[in-house]
Structure 1
Amino acid sequence: MTDIANWVGGADGIGWAIIILTAIIRLILLPIFINQQRNTTISGLKMQKMRPELEKIQAAAKAAQTPTEQQAISMQSMNLYRENNVSMTGGVSWLTMAVQLPIFSGLYLAIKHADGLKSATFYGMALSKPQIILTIIVFLIYVFQAYLSQLHMPEDQKKTAGKIAYFMPVMIAFFTFASSGAIGLYFIVGGISVAIQTLVIHFMHSGLTKHVEETFSLKRGADELLKEATAGSNFNQGAQRVRPEDLRPRDVTPTETNDQPTGQRNAGKQNRQLNKE
C-alpha cells in the first residue's frame, strides 16, 4: 500500500492507495463471492419448492399427541433436506468465509496502521478522523445493496429478512463514523463490490430459476416421510400405549391360594393366640 501511495504521489496518495489495493483484492475474490452467492440463490430456490412439504411436517408435529411422536415427526424436517440433497445452511460455504477472513482482516489492519495516515488527507478530508460525508456514502451504497438482495425474495420473507438487510447498512455506517476516513474508503470500495456481485446475481436469477425447475425434483416428500415417522416400528417399537384402565388404582390385597385358604390361615392365627393365653 505504501508503494502504491508513493507511485500515485501527492497529498491524496494514501487515500488512492487504499482504494486501489482494496479494489484489487475485491476483484480477485469477486468470482468466489459470485459463485458463493449463486449457490446460495440456488439453495434458496430449492427451499421454496420444498416449503409446502416442510409445512406439512410442521403441521403434523403440532398435531402430535405425545412428545415422542412430536420429536420423531420433527426429525423428518432434517430428513427432507437430506433425502433431497438440499443444504440446511442455505448453500453457505464456511471454507469460503474462512479464506476471506484473514485477507480482509490483514487489509483492514494495514489501512488502520498505515505509515503517514495521521497526516494523510483525501481531497481535504483527514483520513485519521471520522468523516460524515464518507459515512453517508457508505450508508447509501449498502442500502442499495440491501434493496437489490430483496428483489427476488418471497413476500412472506421480506418482513423478517428485510429488517436484517437494512440493519446492516446502519451498523456499517455507525462503525465507519466511529473509526476513521481511511476505513470509510475501505468500506466504500467493499460496498461497491458487494453491490456489483448482488447485481450480477439479479441478472442471473431468471436463468437460475429455470435451472432449478429443470433439474430439481423431490425424491421423497413429506407424506412418505411422515408415514415412516408415525409407523409403530420407528419410534414405538416394543412399547405399549398406556390404556385408561392401566391408570386405575390396583388391588394389592393378597389373593387366596388353593393350598391354604383364607379361612384356614385365620383359624391358625386364633389357635396360636389361645395357646399363648
Structure 2
Amino acid sequence: MMRFKRPLMYGGLFSILTLFLSACSNRSIHRQPPTGFIYGPIYHYLGEPMSHLITWMANTVGNAQTNGYGWAILVITLIVRLILMPLMLSQSKNATRQQHKMAAIKPAMDDIQKRQKAATSQEEKAAISQEMMALYKDNNVSMTGGIGCLPLIIQLPIFSALYMAIQYNQAIFHSTFFGINLGQTNIIVALIAGLTYVGQSYLSLVGVPESQRQQMKTMMLMSPVMTFFISLVSPAGLGLYFLAGGILAIIQTAITNFYYVPKIKAEIAADLKEHPIKVVTPKPAAPVAPKKAEPKAKIVQSAPKKNHQPRNAGKQHR
C-alpha cells in the first residue's frame, strides 16, 4: 500500500496542475486576461500580481528588454526555494530517518508478511494486521515514510500565477532569455528540466537501504516524467522555473545526503543500541478441545400390551 501511495499522490497533484494549465491555455488564444467565474479571480489575485512582480524584478536585476524577464523568473525561483528549503530539508531528514528505521524492522516485517500470506481465515489476517500496526507504532515508524506533499501544494499557486503572468502579459510573452522565447513552448528547456529531476531522483537514492531502493525507483521517476510533460506543453518561462528548481533540488539533496545522512545514521545506530527493535510476539492459538460425543439415546421398547378382558366377560356369554 505504501509503495503506491506516494506515486499516486504526486502524480495526482501534477495531473491536476496539468489539467488546470491546459484549461488556461485554451482560454489564452486571444491573449486577453480571463474574466470568467473561475479563471477571472485566479488571474486577478495570482496572475496579475505575479506579472507586476516579474516586471519590477526584471527592471531591478537588469534591462527588461535584454534577458531581464528570464533573470526575474530565476530570482523568483530562488526566493521560493529558499523560503521552502527549511521545510523541505526537514522532510528530507525525516524521510531518511524513516527509511533507516524501516530497514531495521525489515526482518520482523518479512516474518509478518510471510505469515499474512499463509493466513487462511479472516480472523487470523486481522490479528496479523494488528500485529503489523503495533510493530510500526512501538518502533515509531511512519507508514507513509515521512514524505509529505506540503511543499508541492504551496508551489501550486506559484505555478498558476507564473503561467498566467507569462501568457497574458504581452511584454513577458514576447521576451527572450538567451534566444529562448519565454512565451512559447521549448522542447530543449523541457528536456533539460526533466533531466535535472532525473539527476535529483538518483542522487536521492544515495544512502538509501538496498531493500527499499528498488521500490523507490518508480516513485522517483514519476517527478521527472511529469516535469518534462508539463514543461513541454507550457511556456518556456514556466519550464525555466522547473529547470532552476531542479538545480536547486539537486543542491538540497546533496546537502541532505552528505551532511545530514551520516548524522542520522549515527543517531539511529545509537538509538537502536539503547532501545532495540520491539517485536510483537504472536500469541499461539489456544487449542480447541474436541467435542465430546453425545451419548446415544437408548430406545426403550415398551412391553406388549396384554389383552385384558373384563372379569365378567365370560359370564355374559353364558
TM-score by length of 2: 0.68
**Aligned-partner Cα distance in 1 for 2:153–2:135:** 36
Amino acid at match of 2:59: N
Alignment of 1:32-47 (within 5 A): 32-47=87-102
Stretches of structure 2 lacking an aligned partner (at least 5 in a row): 1-52, 306-318
Q: 2:217 aligns with which of 157, 162, 171?
A: 162
Q: Tell me the C-alpha RMSD between the 2 structures.
A: 2.8
Amino acid at match of 1:145: Q
Q: 2:264 aligns with which of 202, 208, 211?
A: 208
Identity of aligned residues (%): 33
Alignment of 1:188-267 (within 5 A): 188-203=243-258, 204-216=260-272, 217-218=275-276, 220-222=278-280, 224=281, 226-227=282-283, 230-232=284-286, 241=288, 263=302
| Cα 1:205–1:66 shift into 2, 3 Å | same
Helix, strand or coil: the match of 2:64?
A: coil
Q: Deviations over 1:96-146 (max 9, x none)?
A: x34x45541222122112223321221221111111221122122111101
Q: Deviations over 1:186-215 (max 9, x none)?
A: 101211121111111110222211110001
Q: 2:128 aligns with which of 45, 70, 73?
A: 73
Helix, strand or coil: the match of 1:90?
A: coil
Amino acid at match of 1:3: W
**Aligned-partner Cα distance in 2 for 1:151–1:158:** 9
Q: Counterpart in 2 of 1:273?
A: none
Q: Counterpart in 2 of 1:14?
A: 69
| Cα 1:62–1:106 shift into 2, 3 Å | closer
Once the two structures are overlaid, the 10-residue window that deviates more, 24-33 or 100-109, is: 100-109
**Aligned-partner Cα distance in 1 for 2:270–2:211:** 25
Q: Counterpart in 1 of 2:16?
A: none
| Cα 1:123–1:103 shift into 2, 3 Å | same
Q: How far apart are 1:157 and its partner, in Å?
A: 3.2
Amino acid at match of 2:204: S
Q: How far apart are 1:76 and its partner, in Å?
A: 0.5
Stretches of structure 1 lacking an aligned partner (at least 5 in a row): 233-239, 268-277
| Cα 1:4–1:196 shift into 2, 3 Å | same
**Aligned-partner Cα distance in 2 for 1:183–1:242:** 72
Amino acid at match of 2:156: S
| Cα 1:169–1:65 shift into 2, 3 Å | closer
Contact 2:58 2:71 in 1 (8 A): yes
Q: Counterpart in 1 of 2:56?
A: 3
Contact 1:176 1:183 in 2 (8 A): yes
Q: Counterpart in 1 of 2:230?
A: 175
Q: How far apart are 1:242 and its partner, in Å?
A: 9.0
Q: How far apart are 1:10 and its partner, in Å?
A: 3.0
